[in-house]
C-alpha cells in the first residue's frame, strides 16, 4: 500500500479506519470466523497482513473500517507521541457541549503531553484508560467514542511504552498562582488563550491567566 514502508523499517502498527479507529499491533494474531463455500463457518488465525479490509473483518479484529483512512506506523514511531498527536486533535475539535467529551478529551491530551515532557506518573496509563471508558457512550454524538477509542486501544496494545514514560510516583507541582491580593494590586495582567493552548503548565502560572 502506497509504496510500502521506508527502506530498513519494520511495521509496528496499523490504524485501519482513520484516527478514531482502534490501533492494531503488527505482531498480533487474530482469530476470525471465515465462511466456507459449503456454508460452514470455521475459525482461522491470521496475521494483521492477511485481514480483509471489509467492515465485518475489521470489526471482528477489534477495530473498524471507519473513514477508510489507513494510517501505517513503522518502528520509528513512539506510540505515546502518536496518541498525544491524536489527543491534541480531538481536544481542539470537541464542540464542548457534552461534559465527558469536553473535559475528558482535554484531560487525556494534558496527560499524554505531560508524559512526553518527562512528567509521567505511574498511574497515568490507568488514568488514561479510565477517562476513555467514561467518555465512550456518554455523549450526544459519536465524537465521544472517536476521541476515547484511540486512548483505550493504544494504552491496551502498547502498555510497555506507556509504562516506560510513567515512572514518577507523583505528578510535578503546579506553577505558583496569583493570590487574590496580587490580582487586585497588579495594574495589568497578561493573558494567554488557554482554549488554543491548553497545557496545564501554563494555566495559573504567574504572569499569565
In this prediction, residue 173 carries a pLDDT of 63
| Per-residue pLDDT reduced to its tens digit, 2-54 | 678 888 999 999 999 889 999 999 998 888 887 788 888 888 888 888 888 88
pLDDT: which is higher, 92 or 32: 92
CATH class of 79-164: mainly alpha
pTM, entire model: 0.76
Q: Is the pLDDT of residue 78 over 50?
A: yes
pLDDT band at 192 (very low <50, low <70, confident <90, very high): low
Query: Which cell numbers hold the place of 1?
Result: 500500500
pLDDT band at 176 (very low <50, low <70, confident <90, very high): low
Contacts of 47 (CB under 8 A, 6+ apart): 28, 29, 30
Query: Which cell numbers hold the place of 80?
Result: 505515546
Domain boundaries, the chain: 11-74, 79-164, 174-209
Q: Is the pLDDT of residue 201 over 50?
A: no
Rounded to the nearest integer, the mean pLDDT of the chain is 85
Distance, CA of 19 to CA of 88 (rounded, Å):
12
pLDDT band at 198 (very low <50, low <70, confident <90, very high): very low
In this prediction, residue 177 carries a pLDDT of 67
In this prediction, residue 172 carries a pLDDT of 63
Mean pLDDT of 62-79: 91
- Measured from the Cβ of residue 38, the count of other Cβ atoms closer than 10 Å reads 5
Least confident of 95-104, 120-129, 180-189: 180-189
Amino acid at each position: 500500500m502506497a509504496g510500502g514502508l521506508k527502506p530498513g523499517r519494520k511495521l509496528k502498527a496499523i490504524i485501519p479506519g482513520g484516527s478514531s479507529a482502534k490501533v492494531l499491533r503488527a505482531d498480533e494474531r487474530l482469530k476470525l470466523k471465515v465462511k466456507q463455500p459449503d456454508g460452514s463457518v470455521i475459525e482461522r488465525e491470521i496475521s494483521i497482513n492477511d485481514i480483509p479490509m471489509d467492515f465485518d473483518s475489521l470489526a471482528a479484529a477489534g477495530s473498524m473500517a471507519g473513514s477508510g483512512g489507513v494510517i501505517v506506523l513503522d518502528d520509528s514511531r513512539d506510540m505515546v507521541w502518536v496518541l498525544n498527536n491524536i489527543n491534541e486533535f480531538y481536544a481542539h475539535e470537541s464542540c464542548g457541549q457534552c461534559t465527558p467529551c469536553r473535559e475528558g478529551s482535554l484531560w487525556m491530551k494534558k496527560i499524554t503531553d505531560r508524559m512526553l515532557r518527562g512528567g509521567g506518573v505511574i498511574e497515568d496509563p490507568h488514568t488514561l484508560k479510565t477517562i476513555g471508558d467514561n467518555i465512550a457512550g456518554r455523549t450526544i454524538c459519536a465524537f465521544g467514542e472517536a476521541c476515547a477509542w484511540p486512548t483505550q486501544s493504544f494504552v491496551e496494545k502498547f502498555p510497555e511504552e506507556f509504562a516506560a514514560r510513567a515512572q514518577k510516583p507523583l505528578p510535578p507541582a503546579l506553577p505558583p498562582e496569583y493570590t487574590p491580593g496580587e490580582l487586585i494590586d497588579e495594574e495589568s495582567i497578561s493573558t494567554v488563550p488557554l482554549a488554543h493552548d491548553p497545557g496545564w503548565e501554563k494555566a495559573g502560572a504567574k504572569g499569565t491567566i
